[in-house]
Structure 1
Amino acid sequence: MTSRMFRPVRVVMVSVFWTLAVAALAGCSFEPEEKIWEIAGPVFGTQYHINVVLTEDESRLENLGSGIEQVLEDVDASMSTWREDSELSRLNRREDQSEWIELSEPLYEVLFVAAEVSSLTDGAFDVTIGPVVNLWGFGPDARPDQVPDDQELKAKLDQTGYEHIELKSDPPAMRAHRPQYIDLSAIAKGYAVDAVARYLEEAGVGAYLVEIGGEVRVNGRKPNGDAWRLAIEEPVSERRQINRVVALDRQAMATSGDYRNYYESEGRRYSHTIDPETGKPIRHKLASVTVIAENTMLADALATGFNVMGFERAQALATRENMAAYFIVRGDNGFEAHYTPAFTAYLTD
């Protein structure tokens, strides 16, 4: 999440020209043809790209753009660790979290799903890892001059643990056995995608593609009846290259990998994905994992948890739970792709 100010929404027609469908009826009546329109802009330190299937209506597109902008601002104001005035930042600053603290419905929803995924992955996904993320320089704090030593890591790890958080739904609230610093960067972006999708459906948009920083949710189909086709990237940092293409019509997809957000120190690369057990960036052969789920928040969290777990453990869990997951593993002769049986239905030729 980021505190960057939103710029005016840019509304761009994906097909430059629009046409009217001609009905060959008496009187030659005309009906507007649906096209794919793009609404795009900066958010959370990345970009959002939203495609909607609509007939041409400039005022409706502008209204949708403004509504999307407000949805994203609301998420940022609730869940950003980069904004001192966000709901989450105020929660993190509380020295005493032992009493029930009232939460907004969105923040409670995200924390609830985070707790479920933490339990499922035996702690490989843990939103309380924020102090360690910051220590490594992947949060709002400045990047350290040198990598943390074991003593520093232990001190920060002792402050973490998803099991120390309790939630209740009525009214939405949380408390912690000891103060926690919560970082939702591995799930809040997925929630934002879902929030925009809900807004579009409430606004009467039946077919759409919502993408924020690589996390995607789609519904309906393109005007020609085709499903939305999405690319899974080859996990290389120096170029953009497609590994596989999938087709979706009412699902969400998220990818987690170690090839985009990292830094190097003394010839060694440090990934932004931190293992909550060791407090150190992951170092294994799993380069990326893509998850398809019913909503983006869940896909986002699962992809991160699976990425931390490594290929063998994650594949076993995803297969056992009938989850659609696609793994790209570094092999002796380049990348190797593996996927669970549930993922097969989404693969294209």
Structure 2
Amino acid sequence: MSKVVTLSRLACIGFIAVLAGCDASESIEGFGGPAQGSTYSVKYVHKQGGPDMGTLKLEAEAIFAEVDRQVSTYRSDSLVEQFNDSPAGTCMTMPEGVFTLLNAGQQLNRDSGGAFDLTLEPLLDLWGFGPKGHGQRQVPDAGAVQQTLQRVGMQYLRVEGDQLCKDRDVQLDFNSIAAGYTVDRVIDRFIELGVDSYLVEVTGELKAAGIKPDGQPWRIALEIPRSGPRAIQRILQLDGYGISTSGDYRNYFEEQGVRYSHTLDPLTAAPIQHKLAAVTVASTSTLMADGLSTLLMVLGPEKGFEYATRANIAAFFVTREGDGFVTRNTEMFDRLFAEGDKP
């Protein structure tokens, strides 16, 4: 279910550029660096009397470190990895952030009939896409899949007060929503400090709000979902929305002429096998945009579009057709983003 390198989640980054406005005002400041197995970038409008760049950078990186300590699957000392290494029947006290992520994952799991699952790490490892898969990407035999499925299932997780418990030896993996959650956390802190115009991106998940000094909104570009040179497909103007793109075009392997994506369908325990190349979701919650883009990618072009329409989700679908692509938007996406916002 992974989609972007985050806490070492493997990868398709759906945004190729943050497009600068016409005004090169010094009031727009920015910084970035490594984060969660990939990178992050921040642009914001600095106002007189507001926090300086150094303060904002320290605040952002403190949040990255906190989230990493709690839910990284690439740190043996993280809380989630300690939980994963514990046997069935274990209960562990967890911080509020873990339960925020778990509650979001449980909601997506329920609403989709199981198409979204936070316990897929053993299957991702088996197919060679997970943190313990050691890069050995190959089609596993049916027996290994069935055995691994005994360690998968969100129904085996339960909460008792401030403790998270597991009734089977399941492996919890928040990589499909952790980056979006991190973006929201960073922005919440910036707002507390008085920043009201910003674009924050963490490992490809992003959110922007406010206007720049030239009166223009923040603009981002979506890329055409192909493995060759990157090119812009659509430009979006953002004000208060988080954006997440999932796709299968940069992280896959081929065996005997069959392409296997890193996105796994929890209901089949195998990589998705449909023609949906990428899906972009917009939501006021970047955490939910992050999870929903994965969920719709799993459901595919037809079921995913039906789900997004029924749930009033702003989504942009890109489907392979012959040597090209066909795009389709939900009504909510059209309401948020004018059709004219194209390169």
TM-score class normalised by the smaller sequence = 0.7 to 0.9
Counterparts of 2:277 and 2:196 in 1: how far apart (Å)? Answer: 35
In structure 2, relative to structure 1, the CA distance for the partners of 1:150 and 1:345 (3 Å cut) is same
Which residue is 1:328 aligned to?
A: 318
Runs of 4+ in 1 over 6 A off after TM superposition: 56-59
1:196-211 to 2 correspondence within 5 Å? 196-211=186-201
| Structure 1 residue 158, shift from structure 2 partner | 2.4
In structure 2, relative to structure 1, the CA distance for the partners of 1:264 and 1:45 (3 Å cut) is farther
| Structure 1 residue 312, shift from structure 2 partner | 0.7
- Deviation string for 1:203-226 (max 9, x for gaps)? 211111111122111121212222
Write the letter of the residue equivalent to 1:295: S
Counterparts of 1:40 and 1:341 in 2: how far apart (Å)? Answer: 35
| Structure 1 residue 18, shift from structure 2 partner | 7.8
Tell whether 2:106 aligns with 1:115: yes
| Structure 1 residue 270, shift from structure 2 partner | 2.2
Partner SS, residue 43 of structure 2: strand
Partner SS, residue 289 of structure 1: strand
Which residue is 2:85 aligned to?
A: 93
CA contact (8 A) 1:104 1:172 kept: yes
Counterparts of 1:194 and 1:256 in 2: how far apart (Å)? Answer: 18
Partner SS, residue 158 of structure 1: helix
Counterparts of 1:249 and 1:58 in 2: how far apart (Å)? Answer: 20
Counterparts of 2:201 and 2:251 in 1: how far apart (Å)? Answer: 18
Which residue is 1:149 aligned to?
A: 141
Partner SS, residue 302 of structure 2: helix
| Structure 1 residue 133, shift from structure 2 partner | 0.6
1:122-137 to 2 correspondence within 5 Å? 122-137=113-128
| Structure 1 residue 90, shift from structure 2 partner | 0.5
Match of 2:71 among 74, 79, 99: 79
Which residue is 1:300 aligned to?
A: 290
CA contact (8 A) 1:208 1:220 kept: yes
Stretch of structure 1 that moved more, 51-60 or 235-244: 51-60
CA contact (8 A) 2:128 2:138 kept: no
Larger RCO, structure (CA 8 Å, separation 6 or more) = 2
Counterparts of 1:53 and 1:289 in 2: how far apart (Å)? Answer: 30
- Deviation string for 1:273-306 (max 9, x for gaps)? 1111111111110001111111111010110011
CA contact (8 A) 1:329 1:337 kept: yes
How many residue pairs are counted as aligned between the two chains?
322
Which residue is 1:316 aligned to?
A: 306
Partner SS, residue 120 of structure 2: helix
Instruction: Tell me the TM-score normalised to structure 2 length.
Output: 0.88
Instruction: Tell me the TM-score normalised to structure 1 length.
Output: 0.86
Counterparts of 2:37 and 2:101 in 1: how far apart (Å)? Answer: 20
In our comparison, the structure showing a higher alpha carbon Rg is 1
Partner SS, residue 81 of structure 1: coil
| Structure 1 residue 324, shift from structure 2 partner | 0.4
Q: Percent identity?
A: 37
Tell me, which stretches of 5 or more residues in structure 1 are unaligned?
Answer: 4-13, 20-33
Stretch of structure 1 that moved more, 139-148 or 284-293: 139-148
In structure 2, relative to structure 1, the CA distance for the partners of 1:287 and 1:77 (3 Å cut) is same
In structure 2, relative to structure 1, the CA distance for the partners of 1:235 and 1:295 (3 Å cut) is same
Which residue is 1:275 aligned to?
A: 265
Match of 1:54 among 46, 49, 61: 46
Stretch of structure 1 that moved more, 241-250 or 263-272: 263-272
CA contact (8 A) 1:112 1:167 kept: no
Stretch of structure 1 that moved more, 125-134 or 274-283: 274-283
CA contact (8 A) 1:81 1:140 kept: yes
